[in-house]
């Protein structure tokens, strides 16, 4: 993986970070191969919200101090409001939390189109309102629709294999690709995301996976060859943090 080009930027995962651990110690330990000026943003949970998705909220991962220090260093906090389900009343309940992080360096990741439109209208300072990978935007029709709502689109991991599709995209500056991948790369249906959305309403629910854990095709953490994408004109990437055993997921 070529991460040495200073024009290439990364959003990096703080999933599983202890909020008591200083953010820059965490970045050195997990992303020490990147210079700070290549880290555009850090994504993870702040305080509790029913709009979170992607993973089940158990504890905050980034403290208020972490966010202040990131912003002071020119790095954004990327907030995963990726719940599939959101109505306007719930959105209004969450506006104090959103207002707290309303800063030109910070971004929000969304799955729900209506939520994204409310955010763009009410919180114009955010650097990006990004379409989450959870939306599975994997063709030109879906992409063109999403680019009318979102300022940036995260493509699924498997899109890295579809070079014809990637070559056909005109506005590559508004696209974010995965720099590495875990279990989502080989997952056939990704039903876990919808179940996590229900769990994050904190009204019960069950975690669901499309495969029995022992039968999954787990390939570990896969690094993609970024030079291929950089040569095409892509500059934004998402970098995951591996768990013990170089795995993501469970």
Is residue 1 domain-resident? Answer: no
> Is residue 246 pLDDT above 50, yes or no?
no
Is residue 58 domain-resident? Answer: yes
Q: What would the pLDDT profile of 14-29 be if each residue is shown by its tens digit?
A: 998 999 999 999 999 9
* Three-class SS state of 118: helix
Checking DSSP bridges between strand 180-181 and strand 222-223, what pairing results, if any? Answer: antiparallel
Is residue 178 domain-resident? Answer: yes
Burial state string for 187-222 with b = 16 or more CB within 10 A and e = fewer than 16: beeeebbbbbbbbbeeeeeeeebebeeeebebeebe
> Is residue 214 pLDDT above 60, yes or no?
no
How much is the mean pLDDT over the chain? 90
77 Cβ partners below 8 Å, 6+ apart? 41, 42, 43, 46, 62, 67, 70, 71, 101, 103, 105, 106, 107
Q: How many domains does the chain have?
A: 1
Is residue 4 domain-resident? Answer: no
241 vs 51, more confident: 51
Q: pLDDT band at residue 179, thresholds of 50, 70 and 90?
A: very high
Beta-carbon neighbour count of residue 247 at 10 Å? 15
Is residue 249 domain-resident? Answer: no
Q: What local confidence, expressed as pLDDT, does residue 122 receive?
A: 98
- Enter the tokens of residue 155: 């493509």
Is residue 46 domain-resident? Answer: yes
Is residue 248 domain-resident? Answer: no
Mean pLDDT value of segment 137-154: 97
Q: What would the pLDDT profile of 181-192 be if each residue is shown by its tens digit?
A: 877 777 777 778
Distance CA(214)–CA(29), nearest Å, equals 30
Mean pLDDT value of segment 202-206: 82
Q: pLDDT band at residue 250, thresholds of 50, 70 and 90?
A: very low
Q: What would the pLDDT profile of 80-105 be if each residue is shown by its tens digit?
A: 999 999 999 999 999 999 999 999 99
The answer to whether the pTM exceeds 0.75 is yes
Mean pLDDT value of segment 175-184: 90
Q: What is the CATH number of the domain that holds 90?
A: 3.20.20
Mean pLDDT value of segment 198-210: 81
Is residue 135 domain-resident? Answer: yes
Residue 106 domain boundaries: 9-239
> Is residue 193 pLDDT above 80, yes or no?
no
> Is residue 5 pLDDT above 90, yes or no?
no
């Amino acid at each position: 993986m070529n991460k040495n080009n200073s024009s290439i930027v990364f959003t990096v995962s703080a999933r599983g970070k202890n909020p008591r651990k200083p953010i820059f110690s965490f970045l050195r330990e997990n992303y020490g191969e990147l210079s700070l000026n290549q880290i555009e943003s850090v994504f993870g949970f702040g305080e509790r919200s029913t709009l979170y998705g992607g993973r089940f909220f158990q504890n905050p991962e980034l403290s208020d101090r972490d966010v202040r220090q990131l912003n002071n260093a020119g790095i954004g906090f990327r907030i995963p409001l990726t719940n599939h389900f959101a109505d306007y009343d719930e959105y209004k309940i969450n506006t104090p939390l959103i207002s707290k992080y309303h800063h030109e360096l910070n971004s929000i990741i969304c799955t729900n189109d209506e939520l994204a439109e409310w955010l763009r209208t009410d919180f114009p300072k955010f650097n990006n309102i990004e379409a989450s990978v959870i939306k599975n935007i994997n063709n030109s029709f879906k992409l063109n629709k999403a680019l009318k709502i979102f300022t940036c689109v995260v493509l699924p991991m498997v899109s890295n294999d579809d070079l014809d599709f990637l070559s056909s995209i005109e506005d590559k500056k508004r696209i974010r690709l995965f720099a590495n991948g875990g279990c989502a790369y080989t997952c056939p249906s990704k039903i876990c995301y919808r179940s996590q959305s229900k769990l994050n309403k904190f009204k019960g629910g069950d975690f669901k996976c499309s495969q029995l854990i022992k039968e999954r095709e787990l390939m570990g953490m896969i690094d993609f060859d970024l030079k291929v994408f950089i040569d095409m004109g892509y500059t934004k990437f998402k970098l995951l943090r591996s768990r013990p055993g170089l795995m993501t997921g469970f």
